[in-house]
């Protein structure tokens, strides 16, 4: 499996570290309350199909959002997390 790092191009998946879905792009405020924080820290959807995930390209240090199909393993798009977060 290969993921296209926006800086480095097509790279083997072994160069990446996966962090799970992209919930971390929607971090609650400090005082959002226990429920919001529980949701943020612990709960994740597990869809069969397309999912936005956060991956780290270890050699260059870029965090990227990978749109990946959990059934076919096809990668449908890669964007810089810095841009997705804005």
Partner 1 sequence: MRVPGRGLTQDARLVPFTFDGKGHAGRDGDTLASALMGEGVRLVARSFKYHRPRGVLSAGSEEPNALVTVEGVPNTRATVQEIWDGMSARSQNAWPSLAIDAMGVNDLLDPFLGAGFYYKTFMWPRTLWERLYEPVIRRAAGLGRLSGHADDAPFEKAWAHCDLLVIGAGPAGLMAALVAARAGADVILADEGARMGGRLLAEVDPVEGRAPHLWADGVVAELREMPNVRLLPRTTVTGAYDGGTYGALERVGLHRAPVAHRPVECFWRIVAKRAVLAAGAIERPLAFPDNDRPGVMLAGSVRTYLNRWGVVPGPRIAVYGNNDDAHRTARDLAAAGLKVAALIDTRGEARIEEAGFPVMTGARVVGTRGRLGLAAVTVEGVGGRREFEVDGLAVSGGWSPAVHLTCHLGGKPAWDERLQAFLPREGAVPGLVACGAANGVFSTAGCLRDGLRAAGESLEALGLAVPPVEVPEAEGEAGTVGPFVLASGGRQFVDFQNDVTVKDIRLSAQEGFQSVEHMKRYTTLGMATDQGKTSNVPALAVLAEALGSPVASTGTTTFRPPYTPVSISAMGAGGQGVGFAPQRLTTSHQAALQRGAPMIEAGLWYRPSYFPRPGELSWRQACDREVAMVRHSVGVCDVSTLGKIDVQGPDAAAFLDFVYSNTMSTLPVGKVRYGLMLREDGFVMDDGTCARLGLQHYVVTTTTAAAAQVMRHLDFVAQVLRPDFDVQCVSVTEQWAQVSIAGPWSREMVQAVVEADLSDERLPYMGCAEAAVLGVPGRVFRISFSGERAYEIAVPARYGASLWRLLVAQAESLGGGAYGLEALNVLRIEKGFITHAEIHGRTTAFDIGMERMVAKGKDCVGWASSRRPGLLDENREQLVGLRPLVRTGQITAGAHLYGRDAAAMRENGQGYVTSACWSPTFETALGLGFLKGGRARHGEVVRLVDAMRAVETLVEVTEPVFLDPEGGRMRG
Q: What residues make contact with partner 1 under the rule CB under 8 A?
A: 1-2, 17, 19, 24-25, 27-32, 34, 37, 40-42, 54, 56, 58, 61-63, 72-74, 80-82, 85-86
Q: HSE (CB half, 13 Å, CA atoms) of 58? A: 8
Q: What is the distance between the alpha carbons of residues 49 and 74, in angstroms, rounded to a whole number? A: 10
Q: Whose structure tokens read 């798009």? A: 77
8 contributes a contact to Zn ion by CB under 5 A = yes
Q: What is the distance between the alpha carbons of residues 81 and 25, in angstroms, rounded to a whole number? A: 8
Q: What is the footprint of Zn ion within residues 55-84 (CB under 5 A)?
A: 57, 60, 62
Q: Report the nearest approach of partner 1 to the CB of residue 73 (Å).
A: 4
């Amino acid at each position: 499996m290969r993921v296209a790092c926006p800086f480095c191009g097509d790279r083997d998946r072994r160069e990446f570290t996966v962090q799970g879905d992209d919930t971390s792009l929607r971090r609650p405020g400090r005082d959002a309350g226990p429920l919001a924080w529980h949701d943020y820290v612990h709960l994740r959807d597990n869809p069969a199909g397309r999912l936005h995930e956060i991956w780290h390209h270890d050699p260059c240090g870029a965090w990227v959002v990978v749109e990946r199909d959990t059934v076919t393993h096809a990668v449908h798009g890669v964007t810089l997390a810095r841009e997705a977060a804005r």
